[in-house]
Amino acid sequence: MPTKSKSPKAKKPSSKSVKYVYSFGNGKADGNGKMKSLLGGKGANLAEMTRIRLPVPSGFTISTEVCTYFYDHNRTYPPALEKQIDEAIHKLEASMGKKFGDATNPLLVAVRSGARDSMPGMMDTILNLGLNDRTVRALAERSRNERFAYDCYRRFLQMYGDVVMGVQKRTGEEHEPFEVVIEELKKELFPNDPHVSDTKLDATALRTLTDRFRKLIRERTGKDFPEDPREQLRGAVGAVFGSWNNERAIIYRRKYNIPHEWGTAVNVQAMVFGNTGNDSGSGVSFTRDPATGEKVLYGEFLLNAQGEDVVAGVRTPEPVLQLKVEMPEVYRQLQDVRHTLESHFHDMQDFEFTVEQGRLFMLQTRNGKRTGFAAVRIAVEMVKEKLIKPDDAVRRIPADSLSQLLAPVFDSNARKTTQVIARGLPAGPGAASGKIYFSANEAESAAQRGEKVLLVRIETSPEDIRGMLAAEGILTARGGVSSHAALVARQMGKVCVCGASELQIDYSTNSLHVRGQNFRKGDYLSIDGTTGEIFPGEVKTSPSDIVRVLIDKDLTPAESPIYRVFAQLMQWADQRRKLEVRANADQPDQVGHAVAFGAQGVGLCRTEHMFFEGDRIDHVREMILAENADERGKALAKLLPAQRSDFAGIFKALKGLPATIRFLDPPLHEFIPHDEASQRDLAEKLGISADRVARRVKELHEFNPMLGHRGCRLGIVYPEISEMQARAVFEAAAEVQASGIKVRPEIMIPLVGFPKELELQIALVHQVAQKVQKERNIKLSYLVGTMIEIPRACVVADEIAKSAQFFSFGTNDLTQTTLGMSRDDAGSFLPRYQEEEIVRQNPFAVLDQGGVGKLMETAVKLGRSTRKDIKLGICGEHGGEPDSVKFCHRLGLAYVSCSPFRLPVARLAAAQAALKE
């Protein structure tokens, strides 16, 4: 079920003419912003920023084709590459006036990954490359800062040793080996100060450290750290390509559906230093607020630091607005950059910059990740600012992100009575409550046990991604709003609070201490990712603005800016889409909600769900347990008025919109009381013996209830059940129509595989319709059709269409029966199937277009061959999933039907599908 196109195959590697290396610098670039598949997102945009004359340090990009070649050829490179890299280095040296390995003015570079779609923090980066025992002295002299030079050198050794030479924690070791060496040296130098900070290490100490680091590398690898910058570069480039296939990158690609074939590019760029003193620093900013979408320069900045320090989340940075005071000229330039970027890229940008001794350099820009709230607000406001067109706004908002706008927030009353125990930075909006776990693994297992989980970490690293996926929310003690944890959380739509520095988290005791209170693993906490507040215990949640305006009606559009931008977007989407949207709704109040969310009718009313309430379930049980037609008749007589009044309620709520009412399809195991106590209880209510109930339950037992006596099979064996339902529908229709409201019932027969099943049921429906129309002296118009949810129905759809006036694809059962995977049980093995990439996504959530989709295509074709204008829709869960909605558009269905809260998502996805034509 791929949704992203694969990259074209790498060109013939032996061809000397293939260009693998693209230089940029001094206002000129070989590449440009459109070349993302070849240069990766970072490389393409570095070229583009260079072209529009933003201050970008010179460098070059090694293309993704080299990565593809690397993996296709046993980790080797195309023969033409070395020469092209040499040329690019010469160009870079000329542009910077520096030379690789030079003893007086050495060129130092950063080596960074950069895939087509950004994968924040998932792959490796190496900074300060080019340093060795000789060049470090030159750096010390030129910067007149020996401490700085040795600090750069020890960072480089540490990164290179770890990433390229593999000096990492071994099993059984608790700490990173380089960190151990640092701690040992600190202990020697400051025996009385166990918490001394790294900044206390002077130049001499740092030099000692570099000696010890090199010794460590030799001991661990049996090899010397390479002094030659060319060799360093070769190693670094290989490591970055290698990191495309590390575990976390693979997990990330799987989650975001990024094809493994894409590969990464490698960017080699002249170093600029943000850590040369207090007139330097590094920052990450957004051209608008990525959480709310507000049009302000937003982001953070660390004085005297390298960029990695900001995104790693180890030190908590200050807001970028603070630069207005600290470096007013840089701040003014940043505001200019912000406007240049937005008017050039026509989207909100997330950019990295470094200030070296008062001079601003741009290191990266990309379309910024944002919350659903921000996505909608930014797109709508950019249309108003004439930066983009309404079509662009509709196209660019990931349809799924709208579900965030409908997500609950903490109930304001519950929140007033709960004391805030601490605050952090609001990094991913929404309200989340859950049991706290301190490791990704434990969070994942707890979630698998069905618990609601909050993942609590001192700081998160990309390794935590599994735990983040499993958690309702993420809480960290350190790190800023642009730390990887925050970026990834926002993109997943997870609630996230980070940098809550008051939290004292102790992994060894699995506990968290804050302002005199202790919380242990498994205790409840609640976090608000919109305000950054943290609460003890489980706090009640309440509906979002959109729900309050549309459903609860206790908020007006005038009072809610987010509602207004949402409504504007929905209007644009509705003007563009061709698919209609309907709702799966079973009760009058649900139907009301659905209409408020834009439903153009009910696509599936599961009548068995109407019986879950009150004593109705007992009447259904009485009907199921009945031993003869007489007994069944009595039970049905009790059900009839309840159904009739529900149907009437639904028709009224629909005010003339169509309602597809499906006849009973109760998988028996969901309705029968299984344990002794409830059987006794039911027996008492029905006035029969408990033994009789138990015996009947035994008789009705099915090994495979999903494939058992359900769907139309029930109405075939007990026609009186379908008769009662038809009567309830038509009597309700007559009643509502008589009151002046138009009604459009569409009766739908489930689980049909044989044309005769449908014919029998339809005949019965027409009979009842005639009777009721006569009795009530009224003319009703209605349709009768079928669900298509059995493979046989797809392949004999031409015969079925002779009697069916419409088809509605029940893709839940169609997936279950096509794949031969029980929808109740597939959860136990599907995760492994996804890991093995047997299936890319869960086929019960995202339609299996290659299999189930083919059957749907067949059914559409055959159905139309018999009845040209047959009405076609879908009502399985896939009807609210964006990729599946787009598939339904391409199939030419008339509508998709989904749960009310998914309707905005379906409306937007349908518009996006229409715009793609």
Q: Which positions are annotated as active-site residues? A: 484, 875
- Closest contact distance (angstroms) between CB of 806 and ligand PEP is 14
Report the site for ligand PEP in 644-663 (rule: CB under 6 A).
none
Nearer to Mg ion, 305 or 604 (CB): 604
Of 58, 64, 530, 811, the one binding ligand PEP (CB under 6 A) is 811
- Nearer to ligand PEP by Cβ, of 362 and 605: the residue is 605
Under rule CB under 6 A, residue 57 binds ligand PEP: no
DSSP 8-state secondary structure symbol assigned to residue 17:
T
Nearer to ligand PEP, 545 or 789 (CB): 789
> Using the rule CB under 6 A, which residue among 78, 479, 876, 904 binds ligand PEP?
876
Distance in Å, CB of 609 to ligand PEP, minimum: 8
Whole-angstrom distance, CA of residue 755 vs CA of residue 745: 22
Please name the residue that has the structure tokens 């299984």.
Answer: 674
- 900 DSSP 8-state letter: G
Task: Indicate whether 607 belongs to the interface with ligand PEP (CB under 6 A).
Answer: no
Binding of ligand PEP at residue 606 (CB under 6 A)?
A: yes
Spatial distance between the Cα atoms of 159 and 309, rounded to a whole number of angstroms: 13
Regarding 810 and contact with ligand PEP (CB under 6 A), the answer is yes
Q: x/- contact string, 760-799, with ligand PEP (CB under 6 A)? A: -----------------------------x----------
Q: Does the protein bind ligand PEP through residue 880 (CB under 6 A)?
A: no
- As measured in angstroms, the least distance from the Cβ of 851 to Mg ion is 17
Asked if residues 81 and 237 have their Cβ atoms less than 8 Å apart, the reply is no
Given the rule CB under 5 A, which of 82-90, 127-135, 577-585, 788-796 is the region that contacts Mg ion?
Answer: 788-796
Q: What residues have CB less than 8 Å from 585, skipping those under 6 apart?
A: 591, 593, 594, 599, 602, 604, 605, 650, 899, 900
444 binds ligand PEP (CB under 6 A): no
The residue within the footprint of ligand PEP, chosen from 721, 875, 906, 911 (CB under 6 A), is 875
Of 55-63, 293-301, 458-466, 783-791, the segment contacting Mg ion by CB under 5 A is 783-791
The one segment of 57-65, 316-324, 639-647, 809-817 that binds ligand PEP by CB under 6 A: 809-817
CB of 599 to ligand PEP, least distance (A): 16
Binding mask 486-515 for ligand PEP (x = CB under 6 A): ------------------------------
Helix (H) or strand (E) holding 351: strand 349-356
Q: Which region among 23-31, 252-260, 536-544, 789-797 touches Mg ion (by CB under 5 A)?
A: 789-797
Answer yes or no: are the C-beta atoms of 751 and 789 closer than 8 Å.
yes
Region binding ligand PEP by CB under 6 A among candidate stretches 54-62, 248-256, 806-814, 904-912: 806-814
Look at phi and psi of residue 58 and say left if phi exceeds 0, alpha if psi is from -120 to 50, else beta. beta
By a kind-dependent CB cut-off of 5 to 8 A, residue 811 interacts, out of ligand PEP, Mg ion, none, with ligand PEP
Binding ligand PEP by CB under 6 A: which of 813, 848, 881, 883?
813
Q: Least distance (Å) from ligand PEP to the CB of residue 875? A: 5
Give the separation between CA 227 and CA 135, rounded to whole angstroms.
Answer: 10
Q: Is 821 in the site for ligand PEP (CB under 6 A)?
A: no
Nearer to Mg ion, 234 or 792 (CB): 792
Q: How far is 737 from 724, CA to CA, in rounded Å?
A: 20
Phi-psi region of 465 (alpha: psi -120 to 50; beta: other; left: phi over 0): alpha
Lookup: tokens for 191:
């025996």
Closer by beta carbon to ligand PEP, 209 or else 605? 605
CB contact at 8 A, 901 and 597: yes
**Smallest distance, Mg ion to C-beta of residue 706, A:** 9
| Residue 778 C-beta: closest distance to ligand PEP, Å | 31
In the region spanning residues 803 to 842, those forming contacts with Mg ion, defined by CB under 5 A, are: 810, 813
Element counts in the chain: helices (H) and strands (E)? 36, 32
By CB under 6 A, is residue 604 in contact with ligand PEP? yes
Q: What is the DSSP string of 667-731?
A: -GGGTS--SHHHHHHHHHHHTS-HHHHHHHHHHH--S-GGGSS-THHHHHH-HHHHHHHHHHHHH
Q: In angstroms, what CA-CA distances link 566 with 16, 175, 401, 452, 494? A: 53, 48, 12, 29, 20
Using H for helix, E for strand and C for coil, what is the string for 543-587? CCHHHHHHHHCCCCHHHCHHHHHHHHHHHHHHHHCCCEEEEECCC
Judged by beta carbon, residue 322 or residue 812, the one nearer ligand PEP is 812
Segment near ligand PEP (CB under 6 A); pick from 107-115, 216-224, 547-555, 804-812: 804-812
Q: What angle do CA 726, 730, 733 make, to 5 degrees?
A: 145
Around Cβ 553, how many Cβ atoms within 10 Å?
10
3-state secondary structure 773-832: HHHHCCCCCCEEEEEECCHHHHHCHHHHCCCCCEEEECHHHHHHHHHCCCCCCHHHCHHH
Tokens 């929310």 belong to: 473
User: Can residue 812 be called a binding residue for ligand PEP (CB under 6 A)?
Assistant: yes
Question: Which of 396-404, 556-564, 776-784, 811-819 is the region at the interface with ligand PEP (rule: CB under 6 A)?
Answer: 811-819
H/E segment holding residue 871: strand 871-874
> CB–CB of 84/53 below 8 Å?
no
Q: What is the identity of the amino acid at 778?
A: I
CB nearer to ligand PEP: give 136 or 898.
898
CB nearer ligand PEP, residue 344 or residue 709: 709
Size of the site for ligand PEP (CB under 6 A): 10
Work out what residue 875 binds among Mg ion, ligand PEP, none; the CB cut-off runs from 5 to 8 Å by kind. ligand PEP
What would the two tokens of residue 859 be? 């059914």
Binding to Mg ion by residue 791, rule CB under 5 A?
no
Q: Which amino acid is at 199?
A: T
Instruction: Please check whether residue 80 is in contact with residue 72, taking contact to mean a CB–CB distance below 8 angstroms.
Output: no
Ramachandran region, residue 683 (left: φ > 0; alpha: ψ -120 to 50; beta: rest):
alpha
Mapped onto helix, strand or coil, the DSSP state of residue 402 is helix
Interaction partner, residue 746 (Mg ion, ligand PEP, none; CB < 5-8 Å by kind):
none
> Residue 660 binds what, of Mg ion, ligand PEP, none (CB under 5 to 8 Å, by partner type)?
none
* DSSP H stretches of helix in 597-675: 616-625, 629-654
Binding site for ligand PEP (CB under 6 A): 604, 606, 665, 789, 810-813, 875-876
Binding site for Mg ion (CB under 5 A): 789, 810, 813
